[in-house]
Amino acid sequence: MADDIKRRVALKVIGTTLGVGAFAKALAPIAQFTENTSVGEFLQKHYRELSSTELATVLARLEADTKKNYGREVTIQDIRPQAGVQFAYALNLSVCIGCRRCVEACHVENNHDRASHNSYIRVLEMEQGSMDMGRGRADYDHAVPEDGKFYMPVQCQQCENAPCTKVCPVEATWQEPDGIVVVDYNWCIGCRYCEAACPYHARRFNWKKPVIPADEINPNQSYLSNRIRPQGVVEKCTFCLHKTRQGQLPACLEACPTGARVFGNVLDPNSSIRWVLENKRVFVLKEELGTRPRFFYFFDK
């Protein structure tokens, strides 16, 4: 009897060891992931809880990581919203020709993954006389503009009542005082609930680590906008806050050859955005959802 028990104990110890070993072996690829994640990164607090010294450490670490992983010297700033500024965007659908230069400018400015040709803007080719997106298409591939069509670029609408920020279980995304909806890429857990909630297909997920050649990286970066995003987190259009909060215009507007895009501070009575909102018959997409976008569309004629 005693021998039988010894044999059983021995068998169980061997079995358990083999089982644990097998699971360790099966999970081994995770080591590749963990060696790219430092302790500092793992324990990093939420952006809005960081003190200025903690934030400086984080920015320095991110710059060093970019140098190490992408071979490029970059500057990552933390640019805060300005008081008395409420951003809004308007787009003239009569003028847009669907050339997708805004899409390309966004791709370059925001350090998107090159292979997937990611961008925060999608341009719909719509049928004249219809606002039904179901009759439009985003994958058109021919000379533009085509007769009988109009073109409608769609990007983040920076909603006042944003469904995406509501659903986030960890407050990794929120609306800033100047109206821009941002993501803390170091706090997002990658559940993609925001991507499901957004009615405008504005959000993107980093399905893998972005790949960009060193010489193509835009070195002028900021924490909440165009710094190179980590694998497994959600990102979105930030109205190029690293430019616009410093008095410049968004990259998509600068690239537009037809002047279809109008951007600015609605609280400034002399701004062109203010003039458009006051003098054109503007509308927003999917108004019935109650999202209250700060991205407007209008027709000129």
Query: Judged by CB under 8 A, which of 167, 249, 282, 284 binds another protein?
Result: 167
Taking CB under 8 A as the criterion, the residue among 3, 39, 42, 52 binding another protein is 42
Strand partners, 27: none
**DSSP labels, 220-277:** EEETTTTSPPPTT-EEE--TTHHHHTTT---HHHHH-SS--EEEEETT-TTSHHHHHH
Site for another protein in 142-161 (CB under 8 A): 154
Per CB under 8 A, the list member of 89, 205, 296, 297 interacting with another protein is: 205
Can residue 287 be called a binding residue for another protein (CB under 8 A)?
no
Least distance in angstroms from the C-beta of 190 to another protein = 2
Which range binds another protein by CB under 8 A, 17-25, 50-58, 86-94, 214-222?
A: 17-25
* The two structure tokens encoding residue 267: 């609280």
Find where tokens 């680590």 sit.
Answer: 209
Bridge partners, residue 92, by sequence: 298
Is 124 or 228 the residue whose CB approaches another protein more closely? 124
Contact pattern for another protein over residues 104 through 143, marking x by CB under 8 A = ------------------x-x-------xxx-xxxx----
Please count the CA atoms within 13 angstroms of the CA of 45 that sit on its side-chain side.
11
- C-alpha torsion sign, points 90, 96, 102, 103: positive
User: Rounded CA gap, 225 and 237, in Å?
Assistant: 8
Give whichever of 228 and 234 is closer to another protein, judged by the CB atom: 234
| Count of residues of this chain found to bind another protein when the rule CB under 8 A is applied | 69
> Segment near another protein (CB under 8 A), from 11-19, 63-71, 83-91, 273-281?
11-19
Within positions 185 to 204, which residues make up the interface with another protein, using CB under 8 A?
Answer: 187-193, 195-201, 203-204
Report the residue number, 207 or 283, with the smaller CB distance to another protein.
207
Report which of 75, 119, 86 is spatially closest to residue 220, judged by C-alpha positions.
75
Separation of alpha carbons 37 and 41, rounded Å:
6
Point out which span in 67-75, 77-85, 184-192, 245-253 binds another protein (CB under 8 A).
184-192
- Peptide bond preceding 145: is omega within 30 degrees of 0, i.e. cis? yes
Give the 3-state secondary structure of residue 205: strand
Q: Is 37 in the site for another protein (CB under 8 A)?
A: yes
DSSP code, position 80: P
Residue indicated by tokens 């027709």: 299
Catalog residues that contact another protein under the rule CB under 8 A: 1, 4-5, 8, 12, 15-16, 19, 22-23, 26-30, 32-34, 37, 42, 46, 122, 124, 132-134, 136-139, 154, 163, 166-172, 187-193, 195-201, 203-209, 230-234, 286, 289-291
